[in-house]
Structure 1
Amino acid sequence: MADIADFANDLVQERLDQALAARNAAKPALAAHSFLFCEGCDDAIPEPRRLALPGCTQCVRCQSIDEAREARHAR
């Protein structure tokens, strides 16, 4: 059976959730910046890739290897 402490805890949690949601909604959307060099092999990431995929951190080759590795582990 729920007592007054449970109700108070639920109310506090609800207020915290509302405050966090309001804070996240007020944040400006930041544009992700692409890396100039691949974090996997340190080769330059071509400009067309950086423009097409903002926020990329790997070259096509390293990204393909990571995706294949993740697909293998997902099975």
Structure 2
Amino acid sequence: MATGWAGDGAVQDQIDATVKDGIKRARSQLAQGPGLTHCEECGAAIPEARRKAVPGVRLCIACQEAEEREEESGAGYNRRGSKDSQLR
């Protein structure tokens, strides 16, 4: 099948690369090491149940939610520049 300039499997290669990038980014954001007893942002106590559930926790729930909202605001950028994302 003729696909223009792209080689066979190019679309799948791009999908695989995007998935690998996402996994790498998610793993880099996982907390490591011992968790804190108090939030490093606001100093509020972090409940023991949260420390057990999230190894390496560094933020209280409120600060974690605020950080995730900030991260989501920049998530719309498509660095691969597919045509579909440019048409939106």
Q: Please classify the TM superposition score into its range, dividing by the shorter chain length.
A: 0.5 to 0.7
Letter in 2 for 1:62: C
Number of residue pairs matched?
Answer: 45
State the Cα deviation string for residues 2-42 of structure 1 (Å, max 9, x = none).
xxxxxxxxxxxxxxxxxxxxxxxxxxxxx721001101111
Report the Cα distance in structure 1 between the residues aligned to 2:74 and 2:60, rounded to whole angstroms.
21
Q: Which runs of 4+ in 1 moved over 2 A?
A: none
Gapped regions of structure 2 (runs ≥ 5):
1-31, 77-88
Aligned equivalents of 2:52, 2:33: Cα separation in 1: 11
Describe how 1:1-75 pairs up with structure 2 within 5 A.
Answer: 32-75=33-76
Structure showing the higher helix proportion among its residues: 1
Q: Distance in 2 between matches of 1:35 and 1:73?
A: 27
Which is greater in Rg? 1
By relative contact order (CA 8 Å, sep 6+), the higher-ranking structure is 1
CA-atom RMSD in angstroms: 1.3
Q: In structure 2, give the amino acid aligned to 1:35.
A: L
Q: Percent identity?
A: 40
